[in-house]
Amino acid sequence: MNKYPVITGPTASGKTTLAVRVAEELGGEIISADSRQIYTGMDLGTGKDLEEYRGVPYHMIDIAPAGYKYNLYEYLRDARSAFADIKSRGKIPVICGGTGMYLEALVKGTNLPEVPENPELRESLASKSLEELTRILAEMKTLHNTTDVDTVKRAIRAIEIQSYYQQHPEVVASTNPDVPDPDAVIIGVEIDRDARRNRISSRLRARIDAGMIEEVKRLLDSGIPAENLIYYGLEYKFITLHLTGHLTLKEMTDSLEIAIHQFAKRQMTWFRGMERRGFKIYWLPYDMGTDIFVEEVKKLLK
């Protein structure tokens, strides 16, 4: 079988459980497309739920230390290596995750050249505000998300990368196809807004009860700077702000819940954008039953 499943959907849609069952049925292995499950020690906040894998081999989880800032270039390099390894052993890769940028780049075959540092450019940008840097970057490319401009440091790096691409268009153009991989069968786990909101809220309470605040405290106590955890957003941002005295427990919980709901909406916006960009996504209901879901995926792969 040359075709392989790509299972995605918004947070709290249950895609991991479904992907694991698909992998079990196909004798496959999971490649995570989640930008935060990469980091060790960040378990409850990223929803790794490793007990759900039930022995199914997985890749791209726990491969970098917390505090590190793993990027898209590194993800594509490492995920492609895992993909080739799985295929070489006669297994089927099952891609699963909700980080749209990672997933789309992987399925589209995007290749990013490693961009060297440009000290002169960095020096010329060092005195500029985040707002000024955002304007500069917006003039260079369409900003599909706010990740590149979360901080001054990230914005300068994004401008540095985009400048390199503009100066070396032949490198980028020669390695980046404009169409999705025809062997990738993308299945979206569809969940209605009310059900999604209820699952997000109940899951947040469960993870707080399970020790998510204590998890972030351990990361801070291990020496990871607060700003590095804030950089990861969502759970790590708001819990760190609580632990450093900037938010009360109630302020943290309320703000975090709103932020996760907003994040799920942004995920769906990305997936709809993928469809406009030529990606076919087969949407299957989150509550159709695991066995039926697996059978539908098998039909789509044929």
Of 231, 226, 235, 232, the closest CA to residue 205 belongs to: 235
* Per-residue pLDDT at 29: 98
* Per-residue pLDDT at 182: 92
- Contacting residues for 181 by C-beta, under 8 A, at least 6 apart: 107, 108, 109
* Per-residue pLDDT at 180: 85
Q: Are 104 and 278 in contact (CB under 8 A)?
A: no
- Buried/exposed 221-240: b ≥16 CB within 10 Å, e otherwise: eeebebebbbbbbbbbbbbb
* Per-residue pLDDT at 165: 79
* Per-residue pLDDT at 13: 97
Burial of 150 (0-12, 13-18, 19+ CB in 10 A): middle
Q: What are the residues facing 184 on neighbouring strands?
A: 4
* Per-residue pLDDT at 153: 87
Amino acid found at 166:
Q
pLDDT digits (tens, 9 = 90+) for 137-165: 988 876 755 666 778 888 898 899 889 87
* Per-residue pLDDT at 63: 96
Domain boundaries, the chain: 4-109+179-301, 119-173
Q: Which CATH class is domain 4-109+179-301?
A: alpha beta
DSSP calls for 3-44: -EEEEE-STTS-HHHHHHHHHHHHTEEEEE--SSTTEET--T
CB atoms within 10 A of CB 124: 12
Rounded to two decimals, the pTM is 0.83
Residues of the chain with pLDDT under 70: 1, 142, 144-148, 170-178
* Per-residue pLDDT at 39: 96
φ and ψ of 186, to 5 deg: -90, 120
* Per-residue pLDDT at 145: 57
